[in-house]
Amino acid sequence: MDNNFNPYDYWQTRLSKKNNLEGVGYSALGMKFNVWAYKTRKFSFKLNLERLSINLKGKKVADIGAGSGFWIDTYRELGAESITGADLTDAAVENLRNSFPNATFVKADIGENEIPAGLEKQGYDAVSCMDVLFHIVDDNRFAKAVANIASLVKPGGYFIYSDMFLKNNRTVRVTHQVMHSEEFLLDLFAKNGLEVVARKPFLYLSNTPLNSNNALIKGYWFIIYNTLRYLKFMGYILGPLTYAIEKYYIKNSSFSPSTEITILRKK
């Protein structure tokens, strides 16, 4: 991990160039594959809310790390009445305000010591943070981010979160990401009054399978990653093919070799 890593500079530069699903997603895989990978995420998100009978119609919600606005649009589809998005960067916030004039957006660093201005303590029926927190590479700031998010959720409300939940007490650190262990994450949630009510696959084959030693899964990811790194147009083929497989496993499996969606209730 680079101790000089500046998250604002990294994301401001990245989103200034590509404020779309390629910019916020797995950029090495190209736009076309990322579109399908985000279809997978949305499918899992909606399916797991439905399974728990969580109805967000008319509710007040917030999305932390709103990026290109994918989850803002999803909340709109689900009928949320009041939608707030927060992002670290000026590039994202400016684009979001232009794209979603009926929502509220704030520039905020969720890892600060205090709840950022523009976000309301115990103000939301649901708060999401999808594929975002693992980009906070400082563990103290990560813990503070979870505490801040927990404080935004109304008692009885929900925190919807995605991460890898690495098994065997492992942590994997690279320049702009830290994948924390299952033990670390669950302990942090419990300390902040967040009770896990569901953990299901978010992605199965569309991300690095850090939680699997299965040769077929690893082989499939090897093919996807190395093909799309050099032949982005293959996203037109590998995207819908992978999406069809993903839907099957998301509906029928309780385990993910890569990213999980976790729904937590605030006590």
**pLDDT tens string 118-151:** 999 999 999 999 999 999 999 999 999 999 999 9
45-73: pLDDT as tens digits? 999 999 999 999 999 999 999 999 999 99
pTM above 0.85, yes or no: yes
Give residue 175's pLDDT: 87
| Cα separation, 65 vs 72, whole angstroms | 10
Better-scored residue on pLDDT, 105 or 19:
105
Distances (CA, A) of 265 to 66, 124, 140, 196, 255: 21, 12, 23, 6, 21
Looking at the domain assignment, is residue 1 inside a domain? no
Among 107, 108, 137, CA closest to 6: 137
CATH number at residue 214: 3.40.50.150
Average pLDDT, the chain: 96
Domain residues for the domain of 149 are: 7-266
Kindly indicate the confidence band of residue 19, based on its pLDDT and cuts at 50, 70 and 90: confident
Give residue 2's pLDDT: 52
For the cut 60, the answer to whether the pLDDT of residue 33 exceeds it is: yes
Looking at the domain assignment, is residue 2 inside a domain? no
157-175: pLDDT as tens digits? 999 999 999 999 999 999 8
Give residue 3's pLDDT: 62
| Cα separation, 217 vs 255, whole angstroms | 13
Looking at the domain assignment, is residue 27 inside a domain? yes
Give residue 128's pLDDT: 98
Total domains present in the chain: 1
3 CB-contact burial (10 Å; exposed 0-12 / middle 13-18 / buried 19+) = exposed
197-230: pLDDT as tens digits? 999 999 999 999 999 999 999 999 999 999 999 9
Q: Tokens representing 23?
A: 């910019």
Q: Tokens representing 4?
A: 């000089």
Give residue 168's region: left, alpha or beta (phi > 0; psi -120 to 50): left
